[in-house]
Amino acid sequence: MTSFVYRKKEDITELVIHYSASDNALHSDISVIRDWHVINRNFLDVAYHFFIPYSGSIQVGRPELAQGAGVKGYNKHTIHICVHGKTDFKPVQFIMLKSLVERLCEDYPITKALYHRDVDGGKCPNFELEWLKEFNEAIQST
């Protein structure tokens, strides 16, 4: 059986933010995303380290030190966070996302937070967060 590739804390330098591309409330749980990834895509586990459903709770996916599978060829130094939704997002989800990003920056030497689309040119996620832009500008200036 194949197992996760684990990294050292100091090797995790980037955060990648995704969306689930589904507004179906029944999909607002990491167990559903895990099934999609394991059964339909033959992943070891859910691709993401964290999932934020409509409730705003932070659900844990892969272990933080385990390499994720959120962006093919771009997982070695990243932690992946997925926010549930496509066009319907709840304010509490973005509040909790910001809180999670701040916590991860305290625990790891994060140098930037990216959207999935920044890495592969796709459309994920379809939202823009002003605080994330400010966050990256602040990191770059230190």
- pTM for this prediction: 0.95
State the pLDDT at residue 113.
Answer: 96
At 2 the pLDDT is 66
* Residue 64: both structure tokens together: 């933080």
Return the pLDDT at 75: 97
Query: Pairing relation of β-strands 78-83 and 14-19?
Result: parallel
68-94 per-position pLDDT tens digit? 999 999 999 999 999 999 999 999 999
Note whether 71 and 82 are within 8 A (CB): no
- Identify the CA nearest to 97 among candidates 139, 56, 66: 56
Whether 1 shows a pLDDT value over 70: the answer reads no
As given in the structure block, the two tokens for residue 79 are 């932690």
Domains of the chain (ranges; CATH) run 9-141 (3.40.80.10)
Residue from 72, 140, 68, 58 nearest 103 by CA: 58
For residue range 83-142, list pLDDT tens digits in order. 999 999 999 999 999 999 999 999 999 999 999 999 999 999 999 999 999 999 998 887
Alpha helices in 42-142 (DSSP H): 91-107, 116-120, 130-141
Q: Find out whether the peptide bond into 125 is cis, omega within 30 degrees of 0.
A: yes
Report the first-to-last Cα separation within the chain, whole angstroms. 43
